[in-house]
Structure 1
Amino acid sequence: MSSADTATTAAPDARAERRAKRIAKHIESFAKQHGGSAEGVVEYVGGMATRIVLVGADGSWGDQVAPSYAVGKRAAELAGLKLHEDFEGELALKVRTSSYEWKRMAGIQLGG
């Protein structure tokens, strides 16, 4: 294997690691702004993206999108995010919604 072959196989991994580190910084920022810690779940969105759903210690929620499940999971690990298998039970109970979400959900249900 030539050095050119080695460089092309290493480049995607390096790029994925850079993306994971960038996303991890956003996760850490979210945690810091919402009570100092966060929990979450990494979910497939489709063939081209993965969603990291975040729940802060104060019950606020948010998300980050990663280009792949592997990058999303790596970002969560780098950020020290406590991961759950799914967005149900314990994690879902921690979410606190505001009046904005309730109004928005009601509008969607009523066709608004």
Structure 2
Amino acid sequence: MTSADTATTAAPDARAERRAKRIAKNITSFASKHGGSAEGVVEYVGRTATRIVLVGADGTWGDQVAPTYAIGQRAAQLAGLTVHDSFEGELGLKVKTGPYEWKRMAGIQI
């Protein structure tokens, strides 16, 4: 292996880092609009995407989609997001749902 090969493998993918920073900015913006902080979970969505489900301090939820799991994790790290292993339990209980969500859920069941 040459020094050029080592530099290439050691250097972070600049494009992936830019994407992670852009997603992190969106996560930070969401948190500031919804109580100043947020928690979330990074989940696979098929083979080609990752979803970052966010729950603000006020119970509002939202999401961001990243092209890869690694970029999703990096974005969460850059944003200082508290990441949970799953959406179940403690994190799920923090979500506040309103009439819109209940109507959509009922419509799915019918």
Is TM (by shorter chain) over 0.5? yes
- Structure 1 residue 107: deviation in Å? 1.2
- Name the residue aligned to 2:38: 38
Secondary structure of 2:13's aligned partner: helix
CA–CA distance in 1 between the matches of 2:39 and 2:6? Answer: 37
Q: Flag the 1:30–1:96 CA change in 2: closer, same or farther, 3 A.
A: same
- Structure 1 residue 28: deviation in Å? 0.3
Flag structure 2 segments of 5+ consecutive residues without an equivalent. Answer: none
Paired residues in the alignment total: 109
- Name the residue aligned to 1:62: 62
- Counterpart code for 2:64: Q
- Counterpart code for 2:99: S
Secondary structure of 1:42's aligned partner: strand
Q: How large is the RMSD of aligned CA atoms in angstroms?
A: 1.7
CA–CA distance in 1 between the matches of 2:65 and 2:10? Answer: 23
Q: Flag the 1:30–1:42 CA change in 2: closer, same or farther, 3 A.
A: same
The yes-or-no answer on 1:98 pairing with 2:98 is yes
CA–CA distance in 2 between the matches of 1:68 and 1:9? Answer: 18
- Name the residue aligned to 1:20: 20
- Name the residue aligned to 1:52: 52
- Structure 1 residue 22: deviation in Å? 0.2
Write the deviation string for residues 11-68 of structure 1: whole angstroms up to 9, x where unpaired.
8711110000000000000000100000000000011100000000000000000010
Write the deviation string for residues 48-95 of structure 1: whole angstroms up to 9, x where unpaired.
100000000000000000010000000000000000000010000000
Q: Flag the 1:12–1:49 CA change in 2: closer, same or farther, 3 A.
A: farther
Aligned-residue identity in percent: 80
